[in-house]
Structure 1
């Protein structure tokens, strides 16, 4: 099995490199638009520069490498940035996927595409794979258009949707709810945390494992991969504070209307993951276990 991975420098991409390079039957090719951040950590992993928005480059790399599977994690995921820079968002989230679909069809490569809960309206949740989409922001619209491109693919495909991914990564500038709450409370800073949005937060390691299980099982169709627990960001923040023995009184409970953000957020998403559990053997960590794993990783870093 030869797996080509896009977005190998990202949070999920890094977790997939760590996981896949250990698999004895996998030949891994990591690709990214930037320099290889993992060169010193995984010197045995082959790396190729790839800008997925460049159709000629995509064709050249995929036709040359002939991967059996392609796991596509590269995307523009900053929701507000997508709202403000819609052309860049469309190029990175839709045009890129159309490029990959066209190339995968030529090589009969199994395309595994990572998508998001933000394709949904947020009126109800948790959601099964059959739930009707209805995005409320441009990021969600772009990811839904990408899914439609994947579903038209003539070679095998799977769409792997996820929710609010958290974790630590090497030279990774972006933060997430666990790190943000821990650092803020450690600094004695009061922070406002939303209590009227519901999600099933996903540990990055769990999502990487779900992607690998889907590839290993040659899974096709749509799968929901997330944690099991429906939590508000405020409830998540309380768990983080408890775990690190930090002052919970610094957490201020607010509703989403407090924040003037360019992009609207769906109020309630979260996933039902029974299909992935049944078909793939997917077993995610609890949020508490995820915090503990991050704490351990931060001690080692």
Structure 2
């Protein structure tokens, strides 16, 4: 039996970690997030309100439950908002990790931390775990700094880097690329989509499963954990349209530069996934399989 605390349990990934933990007799889960529990299921785990920036509350919860591992999914991930609200971004993406490292070092708790392809500049993707980071945005800078804090700590840690997480839960706090494209095209709305950036979108269930594999295998080090299909953002949206039989003539290809976004994005990321596959048993779905997986859940929600 592994006792796990997950932060950010109201988010997409956090809810998927909760879903999988409920089904696993080898896991005792304590789900934590800011505010009330938004998961539609309330049984099979405990829920505690927690702001990871409140060190006293964090210490209190960890002393109460004495977990084997903490999975840290809470973060500020809106890249343009991070550029504009730097103090908030630093607090959520860096200070939170400092707080968790302090507790995990003292209590000998494994810390699983989620990171991003945005620590890279996109000039040489797909990337291995050993590739040299060079973030282009403040969001990427904070996620890299949090990685460095872990690497210089004495706690037991694993970093799972991921790319564009998509999926569906009952209570969504924000959309993702699949739901956005599907929703707009179903309404007949024309959409602008960049054709000069490449990514490997990740099904939320795959990432959640890998978080739990990292706990069970006492993983340490850095792991690339994403989908396995490398595509342009344009191709991602076109494949969403194909999957749902929607009108692709509504999709207008544009360059990233024409968007004038506050934060710069890497051109081509993507990951080499061999390490996670071999060492953790990671087995990602294809993009079409991921959308089919979502379809079943959409039917059960509606």
- On whether the aligned pair clears a TM of 0.5, the verdict is yes
Question: What's 1:21 paired with?
Answer: 22
1:194 and 2:190 aligned: no
Q: SS of 1:282's equivalent?
A: coil
Question: What's 1:212 paired with?
Answer: 212
Shift of 1:185: 1.1
CA–CA separation in structure 2 for the residues paired with 1:254 and 1:160 = 31
CA–CA separation in structure 1 for the residues paired with 2:75 and 2:173 = 16
CA–CA separation in structure 2 for the residues paired with 1:63 and 1:141 = 32
1:36 and 2:37 aligned: yes
Moved more, 63-72 or 84-93: 63-72
1:110 and 2:110 aligned: yes
Shift of 1:25: 1.6
Contact persistence 1:63–1:103 (CA under 8 A): no
Q: SS of 1:30's equivalent?
A: strand
CA–CA separation in structure 2 for the residues paired with 1:117 and 1:22 = 30
Contact persistence 1:62–1:104 (CA under 8 A): no
Q: SS of 1:133's equivalent?
A: coil
Q: SS of 2:9's equivalent?
A: coil
CA–CA separation in structure 1 for the residues paired with 2:103 and 2:64 = 11
RMSD value, Cα: 1.0
Contact persistence 1:75–1:93 (CA under 8 A): yes
Cα deviation code 1:58-94 (max 9, x no counterpart): 2221122211111000001111111000000000110
Shift of 1:43: 2.2
Question: What's 1:67 paired with?
Answer: 67
Q: SS of 1:271's equivalent?
A: coil
Question: What's 1:254 paired with?
Answer: 254
Cα deviation code 1:135-174 (max 9, x no counterpart): 0000000001111111122121100000011111221131
Q: SS of 2:231's equivalent?
A: coil
Aligned residues: 300
Q: Which runs of 5+ in 1 are unaligned?
A: none
Question: What's 1:231 paired with?
Answer: 231
Q: SS of 1:296's equivalent?
A: helix
Contact persistence 1:97–1:149 (CA under 8 A): yes
Contact persistence 2:5–2:29 (CA under 8 A): yes
Q: Which runs of 5+ in 2 are unaligned?
A: none
Contact persistence 2:11–2:173 (CA under 8 A): no
Shift of 1:183: 1.2
Change (3 A) 1:155 1:173: closer
Q: Which runs of 4+ in 1 moved over 2 A?
A: none
Shift of 1:26: 1.2
